[in-house]
Amino acid sequence: MVAATDADKMIIIQNLDKAYPRYKVIAHQIWDYAELGYKEQKSTALLQKTLSDNGFAVEKGIAGIPTSFVATYGSGKPVIAILAEFDALPGLSQKAAPERSPVVNEAPGHGCGHHLFGTASVAAAIELKKLIAQKKIQGTIKLFGTAAEEGGSGKVYLVKAGLFNDIDAVLHWHPSSANAVTSSSSLADISIKFRFRGIAAHAAASPDKGRSALDGIEAMNYSVNLMREHIPSDTRIHYIITHGGKAPNIVPDFAESFYTLRNPSRLVLQPIVDRVIKAAEGAALATGTTMEYEIIAGEYELLINKTLATAMQQNLEKVGGVTYSPEEIEFGKKLQTSFLSAAPPIESAAQVKPLGDFKAGGSGSASTDVGDVTWVVPTVGLGAATFIPGTPGHSWQAVACGGTEIGTKGMLVAAKTIGLTGIDLFTNPELLEKAKQEFKASTGESFSYKALVGDRKPPFNYRDF
């Protein structure tokens, strides 16, 4: 076997630059599809075809999820995995324009850039496959296409199915407004649907004959909002009312709310979830209704691997950030006028942030089902500047950036960084062993993975209201 060298890293960079027009088309196709979690039929098919056309063996429907898949090339150890996402968000349809302009009102849109995520990961996997085929590296590359990250906990079911048990290390990334290796954790989260049932009646002629399910929801919400004063301040609780009745002159006999609770630690989060459930039970008792609840999603906080993060940082610095054309700068400045707070300079997208200091207990402000993966296998990730600096995630502005080369240029940064880090993992057994030892020390000898979603099956219709 001919060992991979720094020259091979440069070849990956050059190959991805040459293939950029093709991957840009793929990313924009998925941006157009904008399919919700567990419904990503066209998006997953496109990524699967791209991989199979490049020599990967593709297994569809893994962990019982029709749109999830694993693509494999090579044999033996080490086994390095790359994660790919491709689901969109509801209600964020937007043209690739710097002012609010939906393609279709209330339709989904890629407000978190997963069309870029999936495409860049596939591109990196293909480049590593080429090196295996050329016998410059030895081992197995796996690309996991993972459904429903946005609130569906798709990766959790892959972890539960044991699909990461033979993996030595996992690489991933996420669209962002800056270029940085992930060096702090995320928020653990649990999402729950609460369903109240009452008795319908004429709201004016016979209100005493009715019991309002909506009253149950409102009593619960009021109780939870009072509870906010008496929980750890780094906890997040947010909710929507998905069903509040059919007409104001009918006492609602059914109402539903959808809650998400977050905290930097799943161990702190669970007792808070129990208190919210008690608030729902109390609300039902107070309003003469009945209540049932369903755990929809649950995700661990990220477990950071400093060893892998340090290695990835070196590669991100080698790749560098994003440089915009004059037209893209003009687009970005116009977009920034719609932000509610001051934005960093557009030129900051060209910079790579220094590696964080791995502060104990530090966490980001979002949640991800990658968290569960990090607790079963050493994992590392980065953010790449696919959005104009200052762009909030889950916004129409993020969708707009993702439909232009502002997004795909950042996508290429991620693909290159993952590819280069993959070379290190395939060719440096000491790096891999050090990462594994750190992982074992971080999880502890007594740790045993238990999913926060319990024994439930994937919630294929969790977006249906």
Token look-up 């509610």 returns: 340
Q: Which two tokens stand for residue 424?
A: 């290190």
Of 309, 354, 359, 312, give the one whose Cα is nearest residue 178.
354
> What's the mean pLDDT in 41-62?
98
C-alpha–C-alpha distance, residues 280 and 291, integer Å: 7
Crossing angle of helices 306-319 and 405-427, in 10° steps, is 130
Contacts of 268 (CB under 8 A, 6+ apart): 232, 235
Quick one: the chain helix, strand, coil %, rounded to 5? 45, 20, 40
Domain residue limits, the chain: 6-185+301-443, 188-299
Please list the residues that pair with 211 across neighbouring strands: 199
**What phi and psi, each to the nearest 5 degrees, are found at residue 384?**
-125, 145
3-state secondary structure of 61: coil
Contacts of 11 (CB under 8 A, 6+ apart): none
Chain length of the chain: 465
127-175 residue pLDDT tens: 999 999 999 999 999 999 999 999 999 999 999 999 999 999 999 999 9
218-245 residue pLDDT tens: 999 999 999 999 999 999 999 999 999 9
C-alpha torsion angle, residues 430, 117, 155, 371 (rounded to 10): 60
Q: Please, which pLDDT band fits residue 363 given cuts at 50, 70 and 90?
A: low
Whether CATH 3.30.70.360 fits 188-299: yes
Whether CATH 3.40.50.2300 fits 6-185+301-443: no
**What phi and psi, each to the nearest 5 degrees, are found at residue 101?**
-160, 90
62-88 residue pLDDT tens: 999 999 999 999 999 999 999 999 999
* pTM for the full predicted model: 0.96
Contacts of 322 (CB under 8 A, 6+ apart): 179, 349, 350, 384, 385, 406, 409, 410, 413
303 contacts 374 by C-beta, under 8 angstroms: yes
C-alpha–C-alpha distance, residues 34 and 281, integer Å: 37
Question: Residue 190's pLDDT is what?
Answer: 98
366 contacts 175 by C-beta, under 8 angstroms: no
**What phi and psi, each to the nearest 5 degrees, are found at residue 428?**
-125, 85
Question: Residue 2's pLDDT is what?
Answer: 59
**Cα distance from N-terminal residue to C-terminal residue, the chain:** 56
Q: Please, which pLDDT band fits residue 52 given cuts at 50, 70 and 90?
A: very high
